[in-house]
Chain A
Amino acid sequence: MLVSKNWLNDYVNLDGLTDSDLDRILTGLGLEVEGIKTIAPLDDLLVVGEILKADRHPNADTLQICTVSIGGPEPLQIVCGASNARAGIRVVVAQIGSLLPGNFKIKESKIRGEKSFGMLCSESELGISEASEGILELDSTYTVGSKINSVIKTGDSIFEISLTPNRSDCNGVIGIARDLAAKIGKPLLYPKSEAKIAESFLIANPVKVELHPNSGCERFAALYISDIENGPSPRWLQKRLETAGMRPINLIVDITNYVMFEMNQPIHAYDERQVKGKSILVRKGRDAEKLTTIDKKVVDLVSSDIVICDAEGAIGLAGIMGGLNSEVKDDTKNIIIEIASFDPTCVRRTAKRNAFHTEASHRFERGVDIENIVAVADRITDLFILCSKQTGKRHPLISKNVLDVYPKAIKRPRIALRLDRARKILGLFSLTADTCIKHLSALEFKLLDRKDDRLLFEVPLWRVDVTREIDLIEEIARLESFDKIPYRMPVMEIAPLKENPFIRFVDEAKITLASLGMTEVITYPFTSHIDYQNLAITNDHPFHPSVELSNPLVQDHSWMQTTGLIGLLKATERNHRFQRKGARLFEFGKAFHNFSNKEVDFEKFPSFRGINRQPLHFTARAFSEASRPMERHLATFLIDYPFQKKSWAKEELAPSFFDAKQIVDSLLKAFAIKDVTFTRPSSEELPFLHPTASAVLKKDSAVFGWLGELHPKVAHKFGFEITQVPVVCELDLEALFKTASEKAVIESETFEFPHALRDLAFTVDTSTTHGDIINTVQSFKRKKYLESIELFDVFSGEGIPEGKKSMAYSLTFRAPGKTLQDQDVEKELTSFMEWLQTSIGAVKR
Chain B
Amino acid sequence: MTTIMERANALLIEFEQNATSMEKVTPETVEELRIHWLGKKGIVTRLFEDMRHVPNEEKRDAGKSMNVLKTSIEASLEVLKSKAADSVFHSILNRAPLDITLPSQKDTLKGALHPITLMQQKLLKEFRQHGFTVYDGPETDFDFYNFTALNLPADHPARDMQDTFHLKTNQDIMVLRTQTSNIQIHAMLQEKPPLRIVAPGRVYRVDSDQTHTPIFHQIEGLVVDKKISFADLKGMIQSMLHSIYGASAKTRFRPSYFPFVEPGAEVDMQCTHCQGEGCKICKNTGWLEIGGCGMVHPNVFEAVSYDSEEYTGFAFGFGLDRMAMLNWQLPDLRQLFEGDADFQSQFSVFAEGAPC
Contact = CB atoms under 8 A, between A and B. Distances in A.
Interface of A: 27-30, 32, 164-167, 344-345, 348-349, 365-366, 424-428, 468, 470-471, 473-474, 477-478, 482-483, 485-492, 494, 496-500, 502-504, 507, 510-511, 513-526, 547-553, 557, 560, 567-568, 570-572, 574-575, 578, 580, 582-585, 587, 590, 592, 597, 615, 617-623, 627-629, 631, 640, 643-650
Contacts of B170: 597, 627
B112 interface: yes
B140 A514 contact: no
Contacts of A482: 230, 234, 253-255, 263, 265
Given A471-B262, A520-B113, A574-B340, A488 B232 contact: yes
Contacts of B331: none
B140 A631 contact: yes
Contacts of B132: 496
B146 to A, nearest CB: 12
A490 B344 contact: no
Nearest to A498: B133
A527 to B, nearest CB: 13
Contacts of B298: 468, 470
Which one of B111, B140, B228 has the highest number of Cβ atoms from chain A below 10 Å of its Cβ? B111
A349 B155 contact: yes
Interface in B52-85: none
Interface string B108-134: 111111101100010010000001111
Contacts of A587: 339
B256 A520 contact: no
A720 B232 CA distance: 55
18 contacts: A349-B155, A425-B230, A426-B231, A474-B264, A478-B255, A496-B132, A499-B133, A503-B134, A507-B121, A507-B356, A514-B112, A522-B215, A522-B336, A548-B168, A551-B165, A570-B339, A578-B342, A627-B169
Interface in B233-274: 234-236, 238-239, 252-257, 259, 262-266
Interface in B197-235: 197, 206-208, 213-215, 223, 225, 227-232, 234-235
The secondary structure that dominates the B interface is mixed
B23 interface: no
Scoring A166, A349, A516 by chain B CB atoms within 10 A of each residue's CB, the highest score goes to A166
A522 B337 contact: yes
B167 interface: yes
B255 A618 contact: no
A167 B299 CA distance: 19
A507 B341 CA distance: 21
Contacts of B149: 622
A424 B227 contact: yes
B106 interface: yes
Q: For A550, A631, A640, which residue has the most chain B Cβ atoms within 10 angstroms?
A: A550
Q: Rank and list the top 7 A-B pairs by shortest CB-CB distance, nearest first.
A: A571-B339, A427-B231, A427-B229, A30-B255, A164-B257, A583-B341, A514-B111
B138 A628 contact: yes
Contacts of B190: 619-621
B329 interface: no
Contacts of B158: 164-166
B57 to A, nearest CB: 45
Given A474-B263, A490-B223, A649 B230 contact: no
Contacts of A517: 108-111
A165 B299 CA distance: 18
B144 A622 contact: yes
B1 interface: no
Interface in B137-172: 137-142, 144-145, 149, 155-158, 160-161, 165-172
Contacts of A629: 140, 167, 174
Contacts of A578: 340, 342
B47 interface: no
Nearest to B141: A628
A477 B253 CA distance: 11
A477 B230 CA distance: 10
B275 interface: no
Given A492-B194, A549-B176, A618-B136, A567 B339 contact: yes
Nearest to A503: B134
B254 A32 contact: yes
A584 to B, nearest CB: 8
B322 to A, nearest CB: 15
Given A28-B254, A648-B103, A494 B345 contact: no
Contact of A164 (B156, B256, B349): B256
A534 B341 CA distance: 23
Contact of B339 (A503, A521, A648): A521
B338 interface: yes
Contact of A620 (B107, B189, B342): B189
B133 A496 contact: yes
Nearest to B186: A620
Contacts of B141: 628
A695 B283 CA distance: 53
Contacts of B106: 582, 645-647
Given A468-B298, A497-B195, A523-B337, A32 B256 contact: yes
Contacts of A568: 339
A547 B167 contact: yes
A522 B114 contact: yes
A30 B110 CA distance: 47
B30 interface: no
A649 B254 CA distance: 61
A135 to B, nearest CB: 40
Interface in B170-200: 170-172, 174, 176, 185-186, 189-191, 194-197
A180 B170 CA distance: 49
Contacts of B356: 504, 507
Contacts of A500: 134-136
Given A427-B229, A488-B235, A519-B341, A631 B139 contact: yes
Nearest to B229: A427
A547 B175 CA distance: 11
Give the most central of B225, B231, B235: most A CB within 10 Å. Answer: B231
A166 to B, nearest CB: 5
Contact of A553 (B155, B214, B256, B337): B214
B147 to A, nearest CB: 13
A485 B231 contact: yes
